Structure 1
């Protein structure tokens, strides 16, 4: 299906830079880039917005063969406890429909054990930003892309 319109962040040009700036701020908070990449990949998988690994992760796949295992991260033994906590938080924060308490205390507390407050805040913002891009792209039928 062709896109319904140009990407809204390009149609409303003043919207794009703040989103890119937020992504840059998140990247500077101390959360490992690899963790942010894993979260971005998992959120996009959940939202059905990832048909292949994003181009910027392509080179990383050569160095990190864990990326193709992200969809089944619970069964894979190759992720650190902190990465697992971030992935669980990403799933809970993304899959909120029909949930009385989408982010259970156990998920939140596990994330708190592995991340300082600023890092945890950055993870929440990152998960939300990836969801924002996914939803913008879904509603306007954009081809899945990396807008980081």
Structure 2
């Protein structure tokens, strides 16, 4: 598969992506566990069919110690016993926040209240921004048909510095 657009050859696209990555740093440092952040990114990417983000985030999660069992069960998290209540709450908000057009355009009060049991106001703000961010990255990659499979662990960190 060939990408429709070389994002790195476009000054506008590259500038946007670099700034968008930088804008995500407060989320990374928010206190939401890194494993939960990766689960959120992977689940939204599954829903959106973003192969590039799935390639990146499953590899990064595995390199950080995430088990293959948990990675393989993310799409079926409701039936899987391997996720904590806090992770389940984050995954529910992720699904509802990603599927806005499919679910009457909202995250339910029940899902929000459940997440609020596990995350403080600061973390909830970061969770919302994380969901919005990964959805934006998914859209950028899906629209431009970015191929997957070649991502190397740590590759994104190098782009942060560039």
Match runs of 1:33-52 below 5 Å: 33-50=34-51, 52=55
* Partners of 1:89 and 1:111 within 8 A in 2: yes
Residue in structure 1 matching 2:78, options 74, 79, 89: 74
Structure 1 residues 39, 61: closer, same or farther in 2, change over 3 A? same
Q: Are 2:6 and 1:6 equivalent residues in the alignment? A: yes
Q: Distance in 2 between matches of 1:9 and 1:54?
A: 26
Q: Could you list the per-position Cα deviations for residues 5-58 of structure 1 after superposition, in whole angstroms to 9, with x for gaps in the alignment?
A: 112795313312221112221011110001001111111111111365632123
* Partners of 2:30 and 2:123 within 8 A in 1: yes
* Partners of 1:40 and 1:127 within 8 A in 2: yes
Q: Distance in 1 between matches of 2:90 and 2:72?
A: 17
Q: Are 2:111 and 1:103 equivalent residues in the alignment? A: no
* Partners of 1:61 and 1:67 within 8 A in 2: no
Normalising by structure 2, report the TM-score.
0.80
Structure 1 residues 14, 92: closer, same or farther in 2, change over 3 A? same
Q: Which residue of 2 aligns with 1:65?
A: 69
CA RMSD of aligned residues (A): 2.3
In the alignment, structure 2 segments of 5+ residues that lack a partner are 158-162
Structure 1 residues 98, 64: closer, same or farther in 2, change over 3 A? closer
Q: 58-67 or 114-123: which moved more? A: 58-67
* Partners of 2:35 and 2:61 within 8 A in 1: no
Higher helix share: 2
Residue in structure 2 matching 1:84, options 88, 97, 105: 88
Q: Which residue of 1 aligns with 2:143?
A: 139
Q: Are 2:69 and 1:56 equivalent residues in the alignment? A: no
